[in-house]
């Protein structure tokens, strides 16, 4: 039974602690959506949460599975495209069986996201669900961070130990799970990328193929023509005569075919290694899932290294040449019209200049797009919000925070609506959810409070006054079939045609590879620091002597005054807010009513020398001061048995020594004693009253000595603030 009770108590304490720890909530875009704590002590803690129904890990799972299904569709189409399959086989040694293996893995991963074979396909881990990061930084403590999933609550971040720094910075960062998956997969597979593409060798190979094709094509055309004639004559002519006529031609064709075939073999043997990219097979297989086109790319990322900008120094020379020739042309036109040749030169110079400029411009545009794509790829995380909190020490100084939401016209978002603070503490006005180029502008006015009073007095005085007032009113050729007469030449031609077809295929492979780029293998991940939201301290955090009333409003200003964003800010009139800085009093005036059980009498003599004995009223109105044992906050509305916000008992600051006087005849009754403020403005007094009376000595029927001594007595009283007592006096007409 005892263990059960202990566990229940522990659970109760845990629940109680969880309820006391403030939770700062953000939406999916990083905007603070919850109320914020008005104060934090060095022994407190905070928690964080991203709460947004639209921001879930499923959103990125859908993006991931959609990509896998897209790749599956492209690979299925690739299997039916012979030409593209030929490129994949020749360049990478990837065949249909390899593609089927990847497709099967894609299917497995889409049906079992966390447990499938992922040799060629990356997959998410359970920990990837925690893609929001909370970082809390205090220069006196250090930095601590934790990753959380959307719609979960973080662990508690303690804000101690308290040092010289009172400010705590917190940040919310969002990691894009899909982008992070791609970058991590790149880091894991970069070792599979073997060798860089040698563009120089490929360009030279293509140029040599083109040159050889240009040389062989006329010969092949002439040979086909001769052999067609031979075939026609062979049908009805004499064999010996035809052989005698065409034998030299056939021998020449056969000899040249043999020579060309040998040269083609040598060219392929010397250059084909540049086309062989089989060392990249594993790389290609592991990135087929990420492809966006039917023919897979070596670099599927959309950006690469562009190299150096084209040299434009020739432009200066061309401009000088152009100026000279245009000036010369002007002189020629004045003398003669024969300037065609000079115009041709000028045109060629302008064309050359335009070509250089366009090439440089195209490079700059490509570079800008390339850099933009590279930044987008590397940017796996984004800072969503950087906020500020202040931490105080109840034994020294409390930092009271007034939180305003810039996204909602600076509405107050405090968890408690406290608007009165002590002068020994600090008031910090914070603006949250400011956008990137926004600055919070504070307009603050401090006004002296000349007639300070307790809350009770402040609330009752208008009522009393109102009552008082109421009472007062490239192509290839097909094979040619020849008869036995021309077989010796036909064999050579057929072999040559096959060799030319092989060259054409290499031309296709080269064009494919020249369109490829080497992928970036070393990626430095980037965090987008252009914050969506941030917080600012809008007022100087300093001590202000009370009592004062602060009135203020906040407006948004822009870092760039000419920004087009100026149209969106300050559309609504600014709301005005106020708070008080309360003074701690050691001495405070009072007024009230007392009752004395002692029956004080006085002897008086009238004009006829008749004596009379008069009994004074037991009830008196008094005015005086209270001297508190500990400085008191007259605006604290708690009963004296409670504690203040620092955890101290209130009664020492509610207990006072009193010195008061009769309101009508100040020197006739002097009151000393103790007072206890049940609430500020409602004090119970007791002590000793010194009543002044007349003492006369008579001798021979005449007064020879007249004294006015004081006699003591006990009194019990009820007092309040002097200002409320004044209103009561007016109301009661005393």
Tens of pLDDT, residue by residue over 40-52, are 888 888 999 998 8
Whether 488 and 588 map to the same domain: the answer is no
Q: Kindly report, residue by residue over 139-187, the tens digit of the pLDDT.
A: 666 788 899 999 888 888 877 644 556 888 999 999 999 999 999 999 9
The mean pLDDT of 226-252, rounded to a whole number, is 68
Q: Kindly report, residue by residue over 391-436, the tens digit of the pLDDT.
A: 888 778 889 999 999 999 899 999 887 888 998 889 999 999 998 8
Q: Kindly report, residue by residue over 295-313, the tens digit of the pLDDT.
A: 999 999 988 776 677 778 8
Whether 434 and 568 map to the same domain: the answer is yes
- C-alpha to C-alpha distance for 238 and 225, rounded to whole angstroms: 20
Domain range for 641: 583-732
Task: Verify cis geometry, omega within 30 degrees of 0, for the bond prior to 547.
Answer: yes
Whether 486 and 602 map to the same domain: the answer is no
Highest average pLDDT, of 96-100, 464-468, 490-494, 501-505, comes from 96-100
- C-alpha to C-alpha distance for 346 and 662, rounded to whole angstroms: 115
- Cα 64 to its chain centre, rounded Å, is 23
| pLDDT band of 353, cuts 50, 70, 90 | confident
Whether 551 and 652 map to the same domain: the answer is no
Residue 107 lies in a domain: no
Whether 574 and 643 map to the same domain: the answer is no
The structural domain count of the chain equals: 3
Residue 728 lies in a domain: yes
Picking from 635, 716, 714, the residue whose alpha carbon sits closest to that of residue 683 is 716
* Per-residue pLDDT, 105: 92
Whether 597 and 693 map to the same domain: the answer is yes
pLDDT reading at 132 higher than 90: yes
pLDDT reading at 478 higher than 60: no
* Per-residue pLDDT, 344: 82
* Per-residue pLDDT, 42: 82
**Where is the domain boundary, 567, 582, 597?**
582
Picking from 522, 533, 524, the residue whose alpha carbon sits closest to that of residue 380 is 524
Structure token pair of residue 195: 């060798």
Residue 431 lies in a domain: yes
Residue 147 lies in a domain: no
Whether 688 and 655 map to the same domain: the answer is yes
* Per-residue pLDDT, 10: 34
Whether 638 and 713 map to the same domain: the answer is yes
* Per-residue pLDDT, 11: 38
How does DSSP classify residue 646? Answer: T
pLDDT averaged over the chain? 82
Q: Kindly report, residue by residue over 315-349, the tens digit of the pLDDT.
A: 888 888 888 877 777 776 555 555 677 778 888 88
pLDDT reading at 687 higher than 90: yes
Residue 469 lies in a domain: yes
Residue 296 lies in a domain: no
CA separation, residue 122 to residues 69, 240, 284 (Å): 14, 74, 14
pTM: 0.75
Residue 401 lies in a domain: yes
How does DSSP classify residue 292? Answer: -
Whether 557 and 610 map to the same domain: the answer is no
Question: Dihedral through CA 482, CA 487, CA 489, CA 490, nearest 10?
Answer: 50
The mean pLDDT of 454-480, rounded to a whole number, is 52
Of the chain, the percentage scoring pLDDT greater than 90 comes to 32
CA separation, residue 718 to residues 74, 134, 629, 654, 712 (Å): 92, 56, 19, 14, 19
| pLDDT band of 623, cuts 50, 70, 90 | very high
Q: Kindly report, residue by residue over 245-271, the tens digit of the pLDDT.
A: 667 777 788 888 888 888 888 888 888
* Per-residue pLDDT, 160: 62
Whether 565 and 427 map to the same domain: the answer is yes
Whether 491 and 462 map to the same domain: the answer is no
pLDDT reading at 635 higher than 90: no
**Where is the domain boundary, 534, 558, 582?**
582
- Structure-model confidence comparison of residues 235 and 85, the more confident one: 85
Of the chain, the percentage scoring pLDDT greater than 70 comes to 82
Burial class, 17, CB count within 10 angstroms (exposed 0-12 / middle 13-18 / buried 19+)? exposed
Whether 572 and 706 map to the same domain: the answer is no
Residue 377 lies in a domain: no
Burial class, 52, CB count within 10 angstroms (exposed 0-12 / middle 13-18 / buried 19+)? middle
* Per-residue pLDDT, 471: 43
CATH number, domain with residue 211 = 1.20.58
For residues 78 and 292, the answer to whether their CB atoms sit within 8 Å is: no
- Structure-model confidence comparison of residues 350 and 483, the more confident one: 350
* Per-residue pLDDT, 16: 38
Question: φ, ψ for residue 557 (rounded to 5)?
Answer: -120, 160
């Amino acid at each position: 039974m005892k263990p059960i009770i202990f566990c229940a108590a522990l659970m109760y304490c845990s629940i109680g602690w969880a309820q006391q720890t403030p939770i700062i909530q953000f939406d999916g875009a990083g905007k603070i959506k919850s109320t914020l704590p008005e104060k934090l002590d060095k022994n407190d803690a905070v928690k964080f949460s991203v709460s947004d129904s639209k921001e879930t890990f499923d959103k990125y799972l859908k993006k991931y599975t959609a990509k896998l299904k897209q790749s599956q569709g492209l690979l299925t189409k690739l299997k039916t495209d012979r030409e593209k399959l030929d490129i994949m086989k020749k360049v990478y040694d990837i065949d249909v069986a390899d593609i089927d293996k990847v497709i099967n893995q894609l299917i497995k991963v889409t049906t079992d996201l966390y447990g499938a074979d992922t040799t060629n396909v990356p997959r998410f881990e359970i920990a990837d669900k925690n893609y929001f990061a909370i970082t809390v930084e205090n220069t006196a403590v250090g930095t601590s961070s934790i990753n959380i999933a959307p719609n979960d609550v973080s662990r508690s971040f303690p804000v101690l130990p308290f040092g010289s720094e009172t400010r705590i910075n917190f940040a919310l960062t969002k990691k894009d799970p899909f982008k992070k998956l791609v970058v991590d997969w790149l880091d894991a597979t970069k070792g599979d990328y073997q060798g860089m593409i040698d563009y120089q060798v490929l360009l030279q190979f293509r140029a040599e193929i083109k040159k050889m094709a240009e040389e062989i094509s006329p010969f092949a055309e002439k040979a086909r023509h001769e052999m067609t004639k031979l075939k026609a004559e062979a049908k009805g002519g004499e064999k010996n005569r035809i052989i005698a006529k065409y034998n030299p031609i056939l021998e020449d064709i056969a000899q040249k075919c043999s020579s060309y075939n040998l040269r083609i073999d040598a060219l392929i043997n010397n250059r084909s290694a540049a086309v062989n990219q089989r060392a990249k097979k594993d790389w290609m297989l592991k990135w087929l899932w990420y492809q966006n086109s039917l023919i897979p790319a070596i670099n599927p990322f959309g950006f690469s290294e562009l190299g150096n900008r084209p040299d434009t120094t020739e432009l200066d020379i061309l401009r000088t040449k152009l100026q000279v020739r245009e000036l010369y042309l002007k002189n020629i036109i004045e003398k003669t019209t024969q300037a065609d040749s000079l115009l041709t030169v000028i045109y060629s110079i302008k064309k050359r200049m335009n070509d250089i400029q366009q090439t440089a411009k195209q490079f700059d545009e490509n570079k800008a797009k390339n850099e933009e794509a590279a930044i987008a790829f590397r940017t796996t995380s984004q800072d969503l919000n950087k906020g500020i909190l202040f931490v105080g020490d109840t034994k020294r100084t409390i930092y009271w925070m007034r939180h305003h939401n810039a996204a909602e016209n600076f509405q107050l978002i405090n968890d408690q609506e406290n608007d009165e603070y002590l002068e020994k503490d600090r008031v910090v006005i914070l603006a949250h959810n400011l956008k990137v180029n926004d600055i919070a502008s504070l307009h603050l006015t401090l006004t002296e409070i000349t007639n300070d009073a307790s809350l009770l007095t402040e609330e009752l005085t208008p009522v009393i006054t109102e009552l008082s007032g109421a009472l007062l009113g490239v192509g290839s050729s097909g094979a040619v079939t020849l008869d036995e007469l021309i077989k010796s030449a036909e064999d050579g031609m057929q072999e040559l045609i096959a060799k030319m077809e092989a060259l054409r295929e290499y031309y296709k492979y080269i064009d494919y590879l020249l369109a490829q780029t080497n992928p970036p293998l070393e990626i430095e991940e980037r965090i987008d620091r252009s914050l969506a939201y941030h917080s600012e301290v809008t007022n100087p955090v300093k001590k202000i002597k009370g009592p004062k009333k602060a009135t203020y409003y906040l407006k948004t200003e822009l870092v760039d005054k000419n920004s087009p964003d100026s149209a969106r800010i300050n559309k609504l009139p600014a709301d005005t807010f106020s708070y008080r800085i309360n003074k701690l009093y050691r001495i405070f005036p009072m007024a009230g009513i007392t009752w004395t059980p002692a029956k004080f009498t006085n002897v008086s003599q009238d004009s006829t020398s008749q004596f009379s004995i008069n009994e004074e009223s037991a009830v008196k109105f008094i005015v005086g001061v209270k001297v508190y044992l500990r400085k008191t906050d007259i605006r604290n509305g708690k009963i004296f048995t409670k504690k203040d916000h620092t955890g101290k008992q209130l009664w020492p600051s509610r207990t006072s020594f009193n010195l008061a006087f009769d309101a009508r005849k100040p020197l006739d009754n002097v009151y000393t004693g103790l007072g206890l403020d049940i609430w500020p403005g409602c004090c119970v007094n007791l002590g000793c009253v010194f009543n002044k009376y007349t003492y006369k000595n008579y001798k021979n029927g005449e007064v020879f000595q007249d004294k006015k001594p004081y006699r003591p007595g006990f009194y019990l009283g009820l007092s309040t603030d002097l200002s409320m007592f004044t209103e009561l006096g007016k109301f009661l007409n005393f």
